[in-house]
Amino acid sequence: MKFYQLPPTERRTELAKDGADLLDVEPAELERLNEMSENVVSEIVLPLSVIKDALVNGKKWTIPMATEEASVVAAANHGMSVFKKAGGVTAESDRTGIYGQIVLEVGDAFSLKKFEKAFPDYIALANQEFASLVRHGGGLKEITAEQKGHLVYLLALVDPAEAMGANKTNAILEFLAQKMEFFPGVTAKLFAILSNYPSQITMAKVKIPVDLLGKSQEAGLAVAQKMALLAKIGEEDVYRATTNNKGIMNGVDAALIATGNDYRAVEAASHALAVKNGRYASLSHWAVDGNFLTGEVKLPLAIGVVGGSISARPDIRQSYSILGKIKAKELAELIASVGLANNFAALNAISTKGIQAGHMRLQSRNVAMNLDATDEEKEAVYQLMISQQKYGESAAEDFLKELRGR
């Protein structure tokens, strides 16, 4: 038997013979996981955190985030806290659909004009075949085509309703391609597959009084101006832009993972959007407008709240029990708001105390918690690391010896 054909317990046995030290996993859970992926041998668990009372479009939400980085949750929490004091985030999501692509090879007898006249019939056939999607408010909306030599490039816009829509879109594209292969002049289908090109664009905006950024309006204005300058650099300098966007995706990915959405697809689309003007730039924009700091982020969020692994995974279902009844449009608006909050927190930290200070506080907590010591000793070591600004495992060990020597 090949490795992938073995039951997960036998795969674990083989790895154990090679020296692997695997975590204990309940047999029933292991079997469940084995149905979700390939070559399953164990599991990796992420902490599920929440952002409480996030104010988006006038409504308070509790937003789940799955990440092992404490600083990501802390940054989102800080940003959302400031946003709430400023009246909250205004967000809007365009749920027109996601793109699928079909590429056909054609001969000299092919007529693009005649082909385009057949598009309404193809759309009707597809929506008849996938009537369940239409009943849920979705379906194939439009087809466009462009010919380059002996290749015809088609884009199909599919509204996935409340689902992420990747599998359904691929099924629709395969159906269309099979029909189109019989059109006069078409010689072959090269491929028919979903494109992760930016779609389902979501915008989140915030307007923050500068007095929320400093001990006085003058001090807050200085912070706001520095944040706006840092943001401007991110729009012009690729090195800053890349890190700026990584900070945005810190929060976005954590919310996507917690809600069972495809963070890889969103990452790819986001970076494509970042380079739409011919050079890589920040996905966010910040500026000073009088006594206000204004910020916005634009993200392609082809996500869903039903289908896929969402209903099959108990760990994901708990996230939706936290969120409550929610539409895909609303979830996209929350996720974009989290990305903007993480971006705000990073720019604010750089403009004031420096971003490393917060990171080191959180990292020191992790280091102290891993000491072979009592809870009281761990807390004392952590406080010493922060007060003396000495970080890392060796510093923690030294502080522990010092405490015990006393």
Question: Are 183 and 109 in contact, with CB atoms under 8 Å apart?
Answer: no
> Cα-flanking dihedrals φ and ψ of residue 67, to 5°?
-165, 150
Q: How far is 255 from 337, CA to CA, in rounded Å?
A: 10
Closest CA to 49 of 251, 248, 312: 251
- pLDDT computed for residue 354 by the predictor: 55
Give the Å distances, CA to CA, from 178 to 122, 165, 188: 11, 20, 10
Closest CA to 133 of 166, 107, 109: 166
Annotation marks residue 285 as catalytic: no
Annotation marks residue 141 as catalytic: no
Annotation marks residue 246 as catalytic: yes
Q: How far is 179 from 362, CA to CA, in rounded Å?
A: 57
Distance of CA 262 to the CA centre of its chain: 7
Question: Are 234 and 347 in contact, with CB atoms under 8 Å apart?
Answer: no
Q: What distance, in Å, lies between the first and last C-alpha atoms of the chain?
A: 61
Residue 120 pLDDT greater than 90, yes or no: yes
Band the pLDDT of 245: cuts 50, 70, 90: very high
* 56: enclosing H helix or E strand: strand 48-56
Residue ranges, comma separated, of all CATH 3.90.770.10 domains in the chain are 53-94+200-352
Query: How many residues are recorded in the chain?
Result: 406
The token pair at 399 is 């502080």
Residue ranges, comma separated, of all CATH 1.10.8 domains in the chain are 359-405
- How many CA atoms does the CB half-sphere of 380 hold within 13 Å? 14
Looking at residue 24, what DSSP letter applies?
Answer: P
The CATH label, of 1.20.1070, 1.10.8, 1.10.260, 1.20.950, for the domain at 359-405 is 1.10.8
Catalytic residue among 159, 162, 253, 262: 262
Catalytic residue among 205, 226, 232, 359: 359
Read off the pLDDT of residues 290-304 as tens digits, 9 standing for 90 and up. 999 999 999 999 999
Q: By three-state DSSP, how is residue 270 classified? A: helix
- pLDDT computed for residue 400 by the predictor: 80
The token pair at 263 is 């963070």
Read off the pLDDT of residues 233-244 as tens digits, 9 standing for 90 and up. 999 999 999 999
Read off the pLDDT of residues 321-359 as tens digits, 9 standing for 90 and up. 999 999 999 999 999 999 999 999 999 999 887 555 555
Closest CA to 339 of 231, 203, 213, 235: 203
Looking at residue 5, what DSSP letter applies?
Answer: G
pTM confidence score = 0.85
Instruction: Give residue 235's region: left, alpha or beta (phi > 0; psi -120 to 50).
Output: alpha
Residue ranges, comma separated, of all CATH 3.30.70.420 domains in the chain are 98-194
- pLDDT computed for residue 261 by the predictor: 95
Instruction: Give residue 290's region: left, alpha or beta (phi > 0; psi -120 to 50).
Output: left
Task: Supply the CATH classification number for the domain 53-94+200-352.
Answer: 3.90.770.10
Give the CA dihedral 305, 311, 317, 319, nearest 10 degrees: -20
Instruction: Estimate the crossing angle of helix 393-405 against helix 375-388, to 10 degrees.
Output: 120
Read off the pLDDT of residues 128-172 as tens digits, 9 standing for 90 and up. 999 999 999 999 999 999 999 999 999 999 999 998 889 999 999
Distance of CA 291 to the CA centre of its chain: 32
The token pair at 321 is 């029990």
Is the domain covering 98-194 a CATH 3.30.70.420 domain? yes
Q: How far is 194 from 271, CA to CA, in rounded Å?
A: 17
Catalytic residue among 246, 276, 353, 401: 246
